[in-house]
Structures are given as structure tokens and as C-alpha cells.
């Protein structure tokens, strides 16, 4: 099942165009193989932030036994990796070094683990009062999918790297071997397979949570562009000279309002703050539907915000511009 498609992008340079085409090719193979598979969830072009760090995963697979991260790389010509795991590639018969995509996806994987572990109780909850097995015990795999017309020198390549490097056309076969998903009957009678697994409800919960964490950079930029301009600083407000010299001006935030209301009927008064599986939200007492408290920052339009509760007060805090405001 495809939870998120590749976000539209405008590529300018030849390298960017080739990279975009490679990501689209990989997304095509994943869609063709898993679009109707309820136990294989695919998130393409997933960008998220956690603990003041941001990562972008080209393709993320969620399945009953764990996760597979895929880094797409457009490589035309030859690719080599030495014993020190240093990568080189040829282009127009010229050899040059390149960053290791395996190391890159390993960093993405580490941050994703931290994000899921931090929100574990919200995502997979508890079973009979006991927390379900955490995400560390699930399988974590990562691959690098490169252009099908690349030439891979596997003889001199470390086995640990060669096992993670696959051409796009063989990606689905590789994924099927890694995931090794048997039908439910075979799982029930096969006692040799001791891998802990997610049930369908947990899979759906993980997928919904991760999609909700995606940062849509293009949408954020568009919102910022069409938002009303910041009003000039009143004469009564003094801007420190040091900030003026640095090109920074102080702006009062008293006129910036966070419009927290029911997204279904627009009600803003007859609402009740609540907490659920995916965090804080408001329940509309008029139409009885729910709306997340987590909104885009009303000042800079960033989606990298957090909701905090102190006693009976809820506030929205932006991690990008440090703007904070009580919302309920």
C-alpha cells in the first residue's frame, strides 16, 4: 500500500534531473509491487525532524517484521567501493570520489529509530497493561538502489556493501527476500520463525503516525509566500543597534494569532482539549469531530512545531523561529 507518493519537484541541473528520475523509477517499482499489499506500507520522499535534527528518506518500507530504508542514487558508469568502504564512480571516463550512500541512510535510520522509540506508547500502545515489544527488536534493513545501467565492480567490493547495493530492476526481489512475508496461515503454524511482528492495527498506526510527521517543504514555502507581510515595528519599540547592524529586526508577536478551531465546521469556542494516540487535539462539541492542536507556526508557517501542556494551558511552540503562543 502506498501511503505517500513522491513529492513533485522542479529539477534544474542535469545531475538533479537524473537523481529525480532515479527516485521516480524506484517509486514505480515499489508501486507496481506493493500498491495492493495491505501489510507492506510504502512512504516515498519522507522528510521529518526530531531532536533538532532533520532527515530525508527516499523510500521507507514498513512491514510486519520491521523496516527497510532505501536510498536512491543515479549512477551512470562504473561504481567501486574499496576495503575502507570509500566510494568512487566514473563519469565520461573520469573517476571521482562520492559520499557513501550507505552511511547516509544509516544516519537516517538512527534518527527514525529515535523518533519511533520516543513516541512508542502513542503508536503501538499497550497490551493488557504491558508495553508491546519496542522497535529495536524489529528488523532494520537499508539498501542503496542505483541506476540499472550502472556497472558495479563487486569483486573488489566488501561483502557488507555489496549485499546492500542493488540495481533498481532487482529491488523488489531483494525486498521480498529481506521481508520474507508468509501468508497468515503459514505464520501461525511455522514455529521456527520467531521474529516479533506487528499486527495490522499496529502497522496502520505506525504508517499514519509517520505520514503525520512528514514536513512538506514546498507547501510550507508556498504558505510563507502568500501570507500577509510582517507589519512594521511601531515607533515605541526600540530595536537594539547590534541587531540592526546584523540585519536582524525584532518583531512584536502580539498581533500574531493562532487560529485554533474545528477544521470541519470552524467552531472555535465550543471545543474541549483532549489527548489521544497521536497527541493533543480538540474535540468539537458542535459537530463532535476532532482537530489536532499541532498546527503550522502562525509566524513563519513552519510545520516543525510542538504542543506543550502545563496544567490546563496548552501552547504551540515553533522549533524553527522559537515563536510560542497559548492556543487553548
pLDDT of residue 15: 78
Distance CA 292, CA 263 (A): 9
Closest CA to 314 of 325, 303, 299: 325
pLDDT of residue 287: 83
- Bridge partners for 182 per DSSP: none
Segments in the chain below pLDDT 50: 127-131, 220-258
Whether residue 311 lies inside any domain: the answer is: no
Whether residue 210 lies inside any domain: the answer is: yes
Element (H, E) at 61: strand 53-63
Distance CA 304, CA 219 (A): 13
Structurally, the chain folds into a number of domains equal to 1
Distance CA 159, CA 2 (A): 31
Whether residue 250 lies inside any domain: the answer is: no
Domain limits at 201?
2-217
Taking only the tens place, the pLDDT of each residue in 83-103 is 999 999 988 888 999 999 999
Whether residue 302 lies inside any domain: the answer is: no
Question: 129 to each of 104, 125, 134, 205, 274, how far by Cα in Å?
Answer: 38, 9, 15, 18, 21
**pTM listed for this prediction:** 0.65
Taking only the tens place, the pLDDT of each residue in 239-259 is 344 333 433 333 333 344 445
pLDDT of residue 55: 95
Whether residue 229 lies inside any domain: the answer is: no
Whether residue 123 lies inside any domain: the answer is: yes
Count of beta carbons in the 10 Å neighbourhood of residue 118? 12
DSSP string across 10-28: ---SHHHHHHHHHHHHHHH
Whether residue 272 lies inside any domain: the answer is: no
Whether residue 284 lies inside any domain: the answer is: no
Amino acid at each position: 500500500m502506498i501511503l505517500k507518493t513522491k513529492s513533485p519537484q522542479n529539477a534544474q541541473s542535469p545531475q538533479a534531473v537524473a537523481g529525480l528520475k532515479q527516485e521516480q523509477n524506484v517509486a514505480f517499482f515499489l508501486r507496481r509491487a506493493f500498491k495492493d499489499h495491505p501489510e507492506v506500507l510504502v512512504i516515498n520522499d519522507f522528510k521529518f525532524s526530531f531532536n533538532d535534527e532533520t532527515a530525508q528518506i527516499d523510500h521507507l518500507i514498513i512491514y510486519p517484521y520491521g523496516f527497510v530504508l532505501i536510498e536512491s542514487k543515479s549512477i551512470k558508469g562504473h561504481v567501486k567501493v574499496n576495503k575502507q568502504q570509500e566510494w568512487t564512480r566514473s563519469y565520461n571516463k573520469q573517476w571521482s570520489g562520492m559520499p557513501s550512500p550507505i552511511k547516509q541512510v544509516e544516519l537516517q535510520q538512527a534518527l527514525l529509530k529515535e523518533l519511533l522509540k520516543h513516541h512508542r506508547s502513542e503508536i503501538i500502545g499497550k497490551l493488557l497493561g504491558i508495553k508491546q515489544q519496542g522497535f529495536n527488536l524489529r528488523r532494520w534493513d537499508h539498501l542503496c538502489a542505483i541506476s540499472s545501467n550502472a556497472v558495479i565492480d563487486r569483486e573488489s567490493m566488501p561483502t557488507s556493501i555489496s549485499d546492500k547495493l542493488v540495481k533498481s530492476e532487482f529491488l523488489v526481489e531483494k525486498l521480498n527476500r529481506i521481508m520474507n512475508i508468509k501468508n497468515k496461515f503459514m505464520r501461525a503454524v511455522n514455529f521456527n520463525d520467531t521474529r516479533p511482528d506487528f499486527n495490522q492495527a499496529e502497522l496502520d498506526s505506525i504508517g499514519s503516525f509517520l505520514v503525520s510527521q512528514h514536513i512538506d517543504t514546498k507547501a510550507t514555502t508556498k504558505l510563507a509566500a502568500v501570507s500577509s507581510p510582517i507589519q512594521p515595528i511601531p515607533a515605541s519599540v526600540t530595536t537594539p543597534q547590534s541587531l540592526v547592524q546584523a540585519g536582524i529586526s525584532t518583531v512584536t508577536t502580539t498581533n500574531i494569532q493562532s487560529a485554533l478551531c474545528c477544521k470541519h465546521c470552524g467552531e472555535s469556542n465550543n471545543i474541549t482539549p483532549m489527548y489521544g494516540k497521536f497527541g493533543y487535539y480538540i474535540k468539537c462539541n458542535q459537530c463532535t469531530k476532532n482537530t489536532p492542536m499541532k498546527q503550522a507556526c502562525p509566524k513563519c508557517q513552519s510545520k516543525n512545531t510542538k504542543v506543550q501542556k502545563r496544567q490546563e494551558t496548552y501552547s504551540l511552540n515553533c522549533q524553527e523561529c522559537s515563536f510560542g503562543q497559548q492556543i487553548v
